[in-house]
Amino acid sequence: MDGRVLPVLVGPTGHPPKTYRIPVPDAAGGSPTVLVYRRVPRGHSRRLGLPQGWKYTYDPEGKATDGKLKWPWSKPDADPDATPDRKPDDTDG
């Protein structure tokens, strides 16, 4: 995002990656901030509806969903702030 041009590795189908993660160093020397960009179609052809190119849009949530398959019978992702289902009288000992 600073004007440099980087080579883009394409997969076996010739498409660029679905997500780009760009680490941005902190000016104060802290941990870098990771910006996530997702690939979306630039437009579609009229007749067949095929994508005519790709562009990347910023994803403010930046969830890591690109490595997992989402099957209809899969359980939804757990909320990281949620506690596991426990009974009030359960003990850890």
> Cα 67 to the chain's mean position, in Å?
9
pLDDT at 82 over 60: no
Q: How confident is the model at residue 93 (pLDDT cuts 50, 70, 90)?
A: low
Query: What is the model's pLDDT at position 8?
Result: 73
CA-based torsion, 84, 87, 89, 93: positive or negative? negative
